[in-house]
Structure 1
Amino acid sequence: MTNLAASLARPAVVVAGDYSAGKSSFIKRMFTEFGIEVPASLHIRADATTADVHRYEMGRIDIVDTPGFQSRRADHDDLALAGVRDAALVVVVLHINLLIGDTAALQTIANGMPTGVGKWPRMLFIVNRCDELGVDPLDSTAEYFNRRDRKLTELGAALRSRGIEIDATHIHGVAADPYGSVGMQYPVTAADYDANRAWDGIGALVAALREWVDDDLTRATALAGFDKACSALLVLREDTRADIAAYRNETGKHDSLIAAMDIGLEDADYLQRSLEHELDDVLAAFVIQAVARIRAVAVGEEKDLAEAIISWRSAETEDEVKRFMERATAKVNDWSTTHASTISREEAAAGFDVNLNLPGAASVGGVGEAVGQAAGVAGSVAKFGAQLGKVLGNREAALQIGHFFGHKFKPWGAIKAGKAVGRVGVVFGVVAVAADGADWAFQASKARNWDSKRDAAVEQVESDKHEAVQLLLAEPDGPWAYLNERTEQVRLLRGQYEGRQRAAQQEAERLERRLEVADELITAAQELRGGSGK
């Protein structure tokens, strides 16, 4: 412990308490009793003067003056608690009225909190301003000490009722500046307090503090350093718990979004297959008529057979296909509108936390890059700033993301049927050219009878219909092309979100392992603190 203490900062005696309890008067008196010049910055006023943590050298120790509790000034309690964290000894100065109002800060100092260890039993409780007990200690000495002792007993009971189990030897009553006789006087020496020294209680307290400095300072300093390490572990544990919760939340809120994308992709697959089947049915009606006409051609009527073969590619067929293309375009637009809206709502509802900076942020130990690489998303996910709602609704965002990922996305505006409808005639023209070069006539010429020729003609019609379907499906301005393009965008974005979710899951698991280690260390530290008298 000696080596540990030697490496630590100067031991600190931290003075805490309510703002009107006379902390500054008490510190000023301690300086004079230890024969050290009182710092000029120590002021004695009735308001919440100390607005920050002040540290003063006083021989082998430092005296730390903290803002008063319940001062009604922002952050005073937090500053005081922070100042206590590294204390070798905490001196709590209380008003003669003892515990006033909210005592949460005092309970935290004694018993600790999730991010800091308690300081008991390295604490002294000082009831200051005992000159205000209502009796003159010079005229009624016995009554004065009787009232003071009752006040100390009352404080012990009040502390225990608030969960602070305190030994009576840690409670003392004083009058740091009897009747305010010194007040703001400066400079000041111990002699300025001599008139009331016989009863003000300071002598016994100073003697106890001198003994502590001589006999227990090294041990207390080492324990203060140990407190600091324990508090750091507690902070680490709480931060880790918060990070785990954040990453678990990040993992969970992707579920609905990914599910919405999956539904959109499933609907797109069904729509694509249903439209293909519907187109086949549209053409099948005309092909059936053509086949019936082929079967009805009289034996030997080669010209009638040739006309029957091409009869399904009529103006009526083209008109019906055009109407189908309009319906198909409308259905693709309906799919786009429905699922773009649904996915956007889910993405907005998730409210992704950009502070997590997935995968891996400096706040979680600097291993995020490794996690991201393990997930295969270190580059893309970390920079994936544009949300899906913007992708679906903002053309510029869509193009930017497309360029980032090496894909050129087309904007998700409503598609129009005009180009696709206009291309129907072209498609049928291509089918006609292909049919002109077909060898059905050659196959028919090899047939032994007229029925075989008609069978070859039927096969050609079926082949022409299949070719027409494939050409229409492949049209770059057709509804299938737009549907395929948009589903690929959703698949890509789904992959990015799934990678982000996977990275969050892995980071949560890594943090849980860290939490286990922190818990083990904290348990061991608590056992050590208990075994060493804290």
Structure 2
Amino acid sequence: MSSFQFNAKSQKVNQLCQETIDILEIRTEDEVKKLVDDFQNFWQEYQQQKQLSIAFIGQYNAGKSTLIKALTGDESVRISAEICTDKVTEYAWQDVLLLDTPGIYAGNTEHDDITLERISKCDLLVFVVTNELFNPQGAEFFQTVANQMQRVGQMVLVVNKMSRESGSPQDLLSTITQVIEPYYPQQFYTCFIDADSSLKSQDPKYIKYQQSLQAKSNFNDFLDSLQKLIQKNELSAKLVTPLHRAVDTLEKSLNFLSTGDKTTRDLLEILRRKKNIIQASQTRARNAYRSELAKLKHEVIMLDEKIASMIDGHHTKEDIEVEIEKVTKEITTLSEKIIGKIQAHLQEELINLQNKLEELQNSPLGKTIAREITINLVDSKRINDPNIPDKFGKSILEKQGGKILEELGKLSSKVSRDLVYNIGKFLGFKFKPWGAVNGAKFIKGLGPFIAGAGVLFDAAMIAKEEYDDQENQRQLRNARNHVREEFRKLAEKMRKEYELNIEEAITFYDDELNDIENKQQELRNFDQSKQEILTQIENKRQEIKQEIKQLIK
């Protein structure tokens, strides 16, 4: 972008920001006034800010703080296996301002809100995941940032903790590509590093291993990616960031003005909080069972060596079949152990969910709503007071507010309370451990490869005289590889089948969330008098999003 183009675009950005203010500042609502004030303050401060700002975002414990410490050498950066970043912290690096943000989807919606708020104020982003890549929530968050928040080309994707990875970066690319479609890894300057190794290489205690640690860290690839990101965006980012913030302000204003009176807004807020509690519980439940299933998959795959190592030209088919029987029993034991752990995790989580919902009902906002929809009777009895005459109680309970308040502290009637306390029994009914039937199928599937091993054993006895030893070894390797592949297929099949059954058992989460969304939709009353301003806001929001698209393409 030339200096002339930059100046022309800068005028357009200033115009769009001013038009955003002009549309909203005529409103008299305190909430909208605050949004306008916040945007004006941001815009004025941003115009004075000369440094580019880069936010480090991602799931908790992905190594964002370690990465920043390795990059800056700043000893004040806190590093811990626990969640230690609960606010945005700024660090200087060269001519750039780095921002360490709280991890997302750790069960703390306040942290998520802080991170989302900061993203709209930052020029560029570094999205950090571990070698285990994206969990479903992390993938959804990445797609939201890339697509809805229009950050393609303004973000580096860092795969950290590669020292724990047995495979190569190439092995991980297919999984990454599925998440970032329709884009490609190079569009996010994707790099694979180990920040902890880089940090250790800077420590005098490890001076003896400095070179090997630096090589292991692959940190130079991250530096190259970061420099490319900065060079490409150093001009355009200063134009796009105010527009991101304008879109955020317009969206929040649109959400606020789409609602009616204070009681309606309070009901929408309490539903939002209930939704967040349920989503956080769903996330924790899924993280728990998927973690256990990932362990099961890994342990099953590791068992392949017990069989593959015997395909060496020295063990007979019968020897191998005996070992397969032992391995089959090990797999059954592993599956039973994992199912037990998953049942315990889910039961504990659902009891915790019920407690959280009851706490929400008794929160200050819950009590405020109860007062707002109280029948104006002597002693100000609440709507769910059994002493209220039916002719009064019924008229109130027919209203949406009464229904929401009634259901606030519990799961809907679609989910019985028995499920919460009997989840183990419920899941035990839904699926059984991997046992004799599956074991027989697995052994049968390995048959051709084991039979081949027996042939190779015979061939090995006369290889020196009649066969080329190199060809013989190649066939043995192929047989071992086939066995390993069968174990990988089995491990993935087990993981998928268990996940499918568990998801079927916890569909009530989605039922609850759909029920909340339906209630929210019923509460949003688009007042005709507000339609004009809502249309203006939406049109301006779309216009600015289109301008962002042009600037970052």
- Higher Cα radius of gyration: 1
Please give the TM-score of this superposition, normalised by the length of structure 1: 0.43
